[in-house]
């Protein structure tokens, strides 16, 4: 397996197993060794973006586990700066025997790209490496930092004795802070959690991480954090901001500093975590305060990473499906004769074409964008969108209907609409007095004629990282389509 995102810790591999192992590693960490040794396994630590803690503790972890390793510190120590692609870089390390590649990059989705490239190369071409190669994401742009989340959860377990039923505050830059995104994603799966996100305007937690959080408040005032059990502070990620936003952050950052006075006004049992590096968001006057546990947190980085690497070395390895099934499967289809007697009230009746019915009211603009992206409109195809009151199928009693005259909607478009909006019905009228109502299975992914709008996504930097969008959310509810690499929505 890989550790690319928190989705790698699912029901069949719960994070609790790793936390238990990390806790067991504490004693070994003190002795700079471990009862588990992997002397024949090689690790490549590819830190293309700056790092102090993650780089050092990952290196300490592989050394404690008796592995051989190479540290690549900075893109200027690779041929990436000569223009070599990330795909070729991964192939190179895979071919030369890496068992583990830990990667930090400013480009989102680089770890997933690496996992696919290595797997394909090992399966099809490598002479020396029988595989597998496991990828560890040590931070990709603003997106994920799963090994940090494991060490954060280790810290919380060691401090509170539980990973559920507490109040977590996030202060600073939840907008771009990957450590905050990853921790919140994990803790949102736990019962009894409540969240308070405190950030300046424009740096709020992105929607995809707030989605489904039952007990969550947002504020731009430190007072909102007073009754938290843990406050997780992040620095402002100015290097990922446009100049104008950097200037804005410089003008307001003094309002977001935890001083001794601020700390004393909060819950006396509060604990302050920080992935580090701190800039000025935690005043130096509280560096030695017992309530600040950021430096112990960093120490847990070694044991958390020992636990992760040992888990990866022991297997089992679950390969990525590199050839997923075709996008659309017809699940069901019903045909009936059109009842010409039945009056059509709200629009001009259609003899030949497609009727997309039961669209939740207000979603028509989004539907147009979906169809435009997927080639669902031919330039000359006449279309008519109507909205009318229906008998209360939807909460506000309204639904939208889209009529496509003389046009058979392509199956991928139909399947995408039905997946995003489960109530939508697609009615094909071939022009022989019949209506064929079709129901489609969810396409596994959308990967034709699409590109990702996120300029920091690996798909915009490496031609071998082909844009691919997947459906997020639960079957039967409204779903979103997001970039498999960086999580950006295809239709925000
Ligand atoms: C963080 C990172 O790189 O995301 N640090 C870390 O890994 N411990 C936080 C940051 O850079 O602000």
Burial class, 176, CB count within 10 angstroms (exposed 0-12 / middle 13-18 / buried 19+): buried
CB 196 within 8 A of CB 224: yes
User: Residue 129: in which H helix or E strand, if any?
Assistant: none
DSSP-H helix ranges across 201-281:
207-210, 243-252, 260-264
φ, ψ of residue 483 in degrees (nearest 5) = -65, 130
Separation CA 98–CA 57 (nearest Å): 19
> If DSSP codes are grouped into helix, strand and coil, which group holds residue 34?
coil
Does residue 273 surpass a pLDDT of 90?
Answer: yes
Of the candidates 358, 472, 371, which has an alpha carbon nearest to the alpha carbon of residue 422? 358
| Minimum-distance ligand 1 atom for the alpha carbon of 53 | 8
135: left (phi over 0), alpha (psi -120 to 50) or beta: beta
User: Residue 93: in which H helix or E strand, if any?
Assistant: helix 86-95
| Minimum-distance ligand 1 atom for the alpha carbon of 54 | 7
Task: Tell me the pLDDT tens digit for each residue of 296-329.
Answer: 999 999 999 999 999 999 988 989 988 766 555 5
Q: How many CB atoms lie within 10 A of CB 464?
A: 16
Does residue 116 surpass a pLDDT of 80?
Answer: yes
Lowest mean pLDDT among 232-236, 308-312, 454-458, 469-473: 469-473
Separation CA 168–CA 228 (nearest Å): 6
Give residue 331's pLDDT band: very low, low, confident or very high (50, 70, 90).
low
Q: Ligand 1 — pocket residues by CB below 6 A?
A: 53-54, 139, 145, 148, 178-179, 234-235, 275-276
Determine the average pLDDT of the residues in 367-380.
81
Does residue 294 surpass a pLDDT of 70?
Answer: yes
Give residue 79's Cα distance to chain centre.
Answer: 28
| Minimum-distance ligand 1 atom for the alpha carbon of 179 | 4
| Minimum-distance ligand 1 atom for the alpha carbon of 138 | 7
Q: How far is CA 333 from CA 59, 201, 421, 476, in A?
A: 57, 49, 18, 19
CB 61 within 8 A of CB 305: yes
CB 470 within 8 A of CB 445: yes
| Ligand 1 centroid, distance to 148 Cα (angstroms) | 8
| Ligand 1 centroid, distance to 482 Cα (angstroms) | 24
Q: What percent of the chain has pLDDT over 70?
A: 94
Q: What pLDDT score does 330 carry?
A: 62
Residue nearest to atom 8 of ligand 1 (CA): 275
Q: Which residue has the tokens 């059990």?
A: 229
Q: What pLDDT score does 432 carry?
A: 87
Best mutation site among 144, 148, 278, 293 for ligand 1, i.e. most ligand atoms within 8 A of its Cβ?
148
* Residues making up the chain, counted from first to last: 492
Q: What percent of the chain has pLDDT over 90?
A: 74
Determine the average pLDDT of the residues in 144-172.
98
Judging by DSSP bridges, how do beta strands 352-360 and 398-405 pair with one another? Answer: antiparallel
Give residue 15's pLDDT band: very low, low, confident or very high (50, 70, 90).
very high
| Ligand 1 centroid, distance to 144 Cα (angstroms) | 11
Give whichever of 137-146, 424-433, 447-456 has the largest mean pLDDT: 137-146
Q: Which residues contact 266 (CB under 8 A, 6 or more apart)?
A: 225, 226, 227, 228, 231
| Minimum-distance ligand 1 atom for the alpha carbon of 298 | 8
């Amino acid at each position: 397996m890989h550790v690319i995102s928190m989705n790698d810790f699912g029901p069949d591999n719960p994070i609790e197993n790793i936390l238990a192992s990390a806790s067991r590693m504490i004693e070994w960490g003190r002795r700079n060794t471990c009862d588990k040794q992997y002397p024949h396994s090689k690790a490549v630590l590819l830190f293309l973006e700056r790092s102090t803690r993650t780089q050092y503790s990952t290196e300490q972890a592989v050394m404690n586990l008796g592995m051989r390793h190479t540290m690549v510190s900075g893109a200027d120590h690779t041929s990436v700066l000569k223009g070599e692609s990330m795909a070729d870089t991964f192939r190179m390390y895979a071919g030369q025997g890496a068992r583990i590649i830990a990667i930090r990059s400013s480009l989102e989705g680089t770890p997933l790209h690496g996992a696919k490239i290595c797997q394909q190369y090992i399966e099809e071409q490598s002479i020396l490496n029988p595989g597998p190669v496991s990828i560890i994401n040590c931070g990709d742009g603003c997106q994920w930092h799963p090994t940090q989340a494991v060490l954060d959860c280790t810290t919380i377990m060691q401090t509170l004795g539980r990973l559920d039923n507490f109040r977590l505050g996030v202060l600073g830059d939840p907008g771009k802070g990957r450590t905050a995104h990853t921790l919140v994603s994990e803790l949102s799966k736990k019962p009894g959690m409540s969240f308070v996100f405190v950030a300046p305007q424009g740096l709020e937690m992105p929607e995809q991480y707030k989605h489904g959080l039952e007990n969550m408040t947002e504020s731009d005032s430190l007072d909102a954090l007073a009754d938290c059990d843990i406050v997780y502070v992040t620095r402002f990620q100015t290097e990922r901001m446009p100049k104008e936003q950097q200037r804005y952050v410089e003008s307001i950052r003094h309002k977001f500093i935890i001083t001794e006075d601020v700390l004393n006004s909060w819950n006396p049992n509060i604990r302050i975590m920080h992935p580090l590096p701190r800039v000025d968001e935690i005043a130096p006057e509280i560096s030695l305060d017992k309530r600040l546990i950021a430096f112990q947190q960093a120490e847990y980085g070694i044991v958390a990473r020992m636990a992760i690497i040992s888990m990866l070395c022991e297997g089992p390895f679950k390969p990525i499906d590199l050839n997923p099934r075709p996008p659309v499967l017809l699940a069901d289809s019903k045909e009936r004769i059109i009842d010409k007697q039945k009056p059509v009230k709200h629009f001009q009746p259609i003899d030949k074409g497609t009727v997309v019915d039961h669209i939740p009211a207000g979603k028509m603009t989004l539907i147009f964008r979906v169809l435009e992206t997927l080639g669902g409109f031919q330039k000359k195809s006449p279309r008519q969108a109507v909205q009318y009151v229906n008998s209360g199928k939807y909460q506000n009693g309204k639904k939208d209907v889209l009529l496509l005259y003389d046009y058979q909607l392509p199956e991928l478009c139909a399947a995408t609409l039905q997946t995003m909006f489960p109530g939508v019905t697609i009615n094909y009228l071939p022009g022989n007095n019949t209506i064929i109502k079709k129901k489609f299975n969810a396409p596994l992914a959308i990967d034709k004629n699409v590109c990702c709008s996120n300029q920091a996504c690996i798909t915009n930097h490496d031609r071998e990282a082909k844009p691919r969008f997947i459906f997020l959310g639960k079957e039967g509810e409204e779903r979103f389509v997001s970039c498999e690499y960086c999580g950006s929505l295809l239709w925000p």
